[in-house]
Structure 1
Amino acid sequence: MSLEPNPALTVMLAMNDGTRAHVLVPSVRQRLDAVATVLPVGPGQGDRPAQGFLDDPAVRAALPDVDVLLTGWGCPRIGPEVLEAAPKLQAILHAAGSVKAIVDPAAFDRGIQVSSAATANAQPVAEFTVAAIVMAGKRAFRLAAQYRVERRKGDAHGMPGNYGTTVGLLGASRIAKMVAERLRAFDLHVLISDPYLTAAEAAALGVELVDNDTLFRRSDILSVHAPLLPETVGLVDGRLLGLLKDGASLINTARGKIIDSEALLRECASGRIDAILDVTDPEPLPPDSPLLDLPNVFVTPHVAGAVGNEIARLGELAVGELERLTTGQSLQHAISPAELGRLA
């Protein structure tokens, strides 16, 4: 659908230069320019590093005319002072994941619509997780490490597999739900644990709702998808890790601090469980971390989320929200005030 430009709608870009280049690829920038007037100033634009909205005189002077803030990585916090300087602001469209760090709750009090591209960022994480689950079911990471050392195939009949394997999802985040949907194509049994998920919602996903202890006891492969909140720091502690079966695999693409790092190291160093970690605590791991040398631990440098050409999806989603705004439609990926407190 071709949309007529709306010069009455003024957009300020609030993201660092590196983000802008990846998020607003030429085709996405074309769509953006077709529906609104994009200001030539913004925090972190041009040769300036990302800074506060009110620190740059040109940005401060432009804020009274801004209808929409198109934000992304590197955006300064949008606090009450910024909101006061932007009386016409209707929407904050975030071309990245969580808005918790940048959007002050005062924005909701003002009736400003807030949208996030978290769904677009979730897709590659879900794909990465599904790939990790399939590989973990074959114990491929541990066996590959052994193969490099021993240079022999080993006994294929003694290896595990994926048929009938039980997969546990800790948390019913967007990513976890995408993982559950994708796992329907496999002969697996999927469990999920989340205090906000109902049994009916779990059934609709095709998964079984259980408590945390049951999740850890029954899972052959357990994937962490909880948000990092004060109450989830160290949630996966030594007790829960001890409930995992011998030979189980633990996958973490969420946040490193959700898992007790010392307890995880003990379990992995014993050889009792395997771990596939895209996030760690600390991050990055120090070069002498024992986790980097264990044959049953596979560590990647936080690459599960949108990287490279995948980042363009974030811009497409945010500009799609802007197109909906210009035609009077509801935002598809709106964030509510209630959600803000539960976001990572």
Structure 2
Amino acid sequence: MQVTVPERFAHLVEHFPKLPILVQPSGRPWDDRMAKTTFFVPDYMSGRAGVANLAKMPALEVVQILSAGVDNVRDAIPNGVTLCNAKGVHDAATAEMAVTLTLASLRGLGRFRDLQREARWDNQSFSSLADRNVLVIGYGSIGAAIEQRLNGFEAQITRVARVGRVTPVVYGFDELDELIPKADIIILIVPLTQQTKGMVNEHFLERMHDGALLVNVARGAVVDTQALIRTLATGRIAAALDVTDPEPLPSTSPLWQMENCLITPHVGGDTDAFHRRAEQLLTRNIDRYTKGLPLLNVINGEY
């Protein structure tokens, strides 16, 4: 039994003094000692590169990733190896980012930052979040955390998930055509699957009413980038994106220069809150692994 963890979680050694724990230095994708790994934790945001050497770990039993989404690693997991995600770890940070992007876009903070650089005092009126209809597409744990934070802003929340349910009221994807035109703000927080890839296409964007805001804290490929560029170019809607397709976003992308598009470089989940919660999850799951107990957040299927 050997657990391999990223350097940022080196202090886990203190939690398990009798357990063989190998600390993988940052920037070093492979160390021959990793071949004995049975429980592997790729570094956060390492993507495909983080799981590129799994075939060199013949004794591997568990891969514990530090993101909620598994779309970029799922097919790299060898047969017979258990994949666990970090469901719950990113709820607070990602929900904060969703609300931050929403408020920054509605209240024109980007514009005021530009005016500050010019030392210009220019009063302007922008939209409020209060009384707005917010459509949260992807009502899982992060979607619920977004709703919890939005409740204090006196906004009306409509929940959407892959399959509708009654308590609380959650609409299904099949009802989106009717819901989109009623939404002032649409927040995307769905996992990237075959069903959600390109979900926000030309038709979806056309259904959004003039002046609506699209916020993406899910995955970039949930949105058809070219369709979004064409729609934003009309000035009809606005967008706030923490994720793009591709990533990094090329410097030649028109999105960078659009005043009605706010971009952050996929930083929604990476805060000190994430680090604390990730350490708690790793501690619990490593402890369960060493005791032969069922693991938390085991992935079956696409997500």
TM band (smaller chain)? 0.7 to 0.9
The answer to whether the 8 Å contact 2:65/2:85 transfers is yes
Offset at residue 299 of structure 1 (A): 0.9
Identity over aligned pairs, percent: 25
Give 1:126's aligned residue. Answer: 95
For structure 2, the residue ranges without an aligned partner over 5 or more in a row are none
Please point out which of 73, 76, 80 is paired with 1:107: 80
CA–CA distance in 1 between the matches of 2:54 and 2:162? 30
CA distance in 1, matches of 2:104, 2:249: 23
User: 1:233-272: CA deviations, max 9, x gaps?
Assistant: 2211111111112111111111222212122112212211
Distance (Å, rounded) in 1 between the aligned partners of 2:127 and 2:69: 37
**Post-superposition shift, 1:170?**
1.8
Which one of 313, 316, 320 corresponds to residue 280 of structure 2? 316
Give the alignment of 1:277-288 within 5 angstroms: 277-288=241-252
Q: Structure 1 pair 47/95, CA: closer, same or farther in 2 (3 Å)? A: closer
Is residue 178 from structure 1 mapped to residue 173 from structure 2 by the alignment?
Answer: no
Q: 1:233 aligns with which of 194, 197, 200?
A: 197
Q: Following the alignment from structure 2 to structure 1, what is the Cα–Cα distance between the partners of residues 100 and 113?
A: 16
Partner residue of 1:164 out of 121, 131, 135: 131
Contact preservation (8 Å) 1:227, 1:255: yes
What count of residue pairs does the alignment treat as equivalent?
295
- Secondary structure in structure 1 of the residue aligned to 2:163: coil
| CA positional deviation for 1:21 | 2.3
Is 1:254 the equivalent of 2:230?
Answer: no
2:52 is equivalent to residue 76 of structure 1: yes
Deviation, structure 1 residue 165 = 0.8
AA matched with 1:104 = I
Tell me the equivalent position of 1:37. Answer: 19
Which residue does the alignment assign to 1:217? Answer: 181
Indicate the residue corresponding to 2:165 in structure 1: 198
Paired position in structure 2 for 1:49: 28
Displacement after TM superposition at 1:129 (Å): 0.6
Within 1, Cα distance between the matches of 2:25 and 2:117? 48
1:106-125 CA distance string (max 9 Å, x none): 326xxx5x432232134311
Q: Which residue of 2 aligns with 1:12?
A: 3
Residues 121-169 of structure 1 deviation map (CA, whole Å, 9 limit, x = unaligned): 343111111222233443444565578779453453xx32122111111
- Aligned residue type for 2:280: E
The structure with the largest alpha-carbon Rg is 1
Does 2:269 align with 1:305?
Answer: yes
The 3-state SS of whatever aligns with 1:302 is coil
Partners of 1:11 and 1:39 within 8 A in 2: yes
| Structure that is richer in helix per residue | 1
Are the equivalent residues in 2 in contact too, given 1:11–1:70 (CA < 8 A)?
no
In structure 2, relative to structure 1, the CA distance for the partners of 1:106 and 1:160 (3 Å cut) is: same
Amino acid at match of 2:165: T
SS in 1 for 2:130: coil
**Aligned partners of 1:99, 1:175: CA distance in 2, in Å?**
15
Q: Which structure's relative contact order is higher, taking Cα pairs within 8 Å and 6+ residues apart?
A: 1
User: Given the two structures, how large is their TM-score scaled by the length of structure 1?
Assistant: 0.72
Partner secondary structure for residue 182 of structure 1: helix
Contact 2:162 2:172 in 1 (8 A): no
Which ranges of structure 1 fall in alignment gaps of 5 or more residues?
A: 1-9
Question: In structure 2, what is the equivalent of residue 3 of structure 1?
Answer: none
